[in-house]
Amino acid sequence: MALVTIEEVETRLGRCLEGADKDRVRALIADASAAIEGHIGYSIAAGARTDMACPVGLTMRLTYPNVAAVTSVTDHEGVDIPFAWVTGAQEITFPATRYGSPVTVAYLSGWAATPADLVAVACQVVGRAFGVSPDETGTTQESLGSYSHTIGSAAASGALGLLAAELAVCERYRRLTDGARGTMAGQIRLGNWVDRLQFAPDLNGSWT
């Protein structure tokens, strides 16, 4: 989705755009939006999400930020699992400890409108890219006699270039993952499977 409007970019540029300039900014908005959402790992637009994991313990952390509602929690056979969710929380809670059984959580998350800090980042990226001629993208230094002009690598990358401060803002919206493994967030069983009754003999062979 386009994270900002042409009007928001125009406000920051301090002038109205017309003709080819407006068409170019429209394309740059699409480029910058794709770069930002590519970095955070999802489209920020409000919508339905699904997480699948094998939680161990009483909680399971959801991977997409800004959860609005949890619509269902089911096991691998599609049977409903009891759970609790507090409005605004990033995790669900089970009434009893789970021992690695697969769980699928369907929920709603995202934003109806682009958060203000992401608007600022997108507009800044677009404005910076707009100031660089498309056929000069990638050029980091120009010299003319004794005069030399240097452009940072991010700025020279056009609408795909994100500065450190911009990346720091994007990090606030990253989809949660389990470290470098890139797995789904939550308490995930990574070791060998064992008889769960070894750890909870009082369950009498039935799942909660």
- For 68-126, the pLDDT digits (tens) are 999 999 999 999 999 999 998 999 999 999 988 899 999 999 999 999 999 999 999 99
pLDDT at site 202: 42
- From 58, 90, 51, 53, select the one nearest 208 (Cα to Cα): 58
pLDDT at residue 141 is higher than 80:
no
Question: Across the chain, what does the average pLDDT equal?
Answer: 80
Instruction: Please give the radius of gyration of the chain, using alpha carbons only, rounded to the nearest integer.
Output: 23
| Range picked from 112-116, 180-184, 186-190 for highest mean pLDDT | 112-116
Task: Give Dmax (Cα) for the chain.
Answer: 85
Tell me, what's the pLDDT at 198? 39
The per-residue pLDDT for range 44-58, each reduced to its tens digit, is 999 999 999 999 899
In the chain, which ranges are continuous DSSP H helix?
6-13, 19-40, 116-130, 164-171
Residue 13 has what pLDDT? 94
Residue 135 has what pLDDT?
A: 58
Q: Look at residue 131 in the predicted model and tell me its pLDDT.
A: 83
Q: Which residue has the higher pLDDT, 141 or 202?
A: 141
Helix 19-40 × helix 6-13 angle, to 10°:
110
CA dihedral 120, 122, 128, 129 (to 10 degrees): -170
Residue pair 198/72 in contact (Cβ under 8 Å)? The answer is no
Q: What share of the chain is helix, strand, coil (3-state, %, to 5)?
A: 35, 25, 40
Model pTM score: 0.73
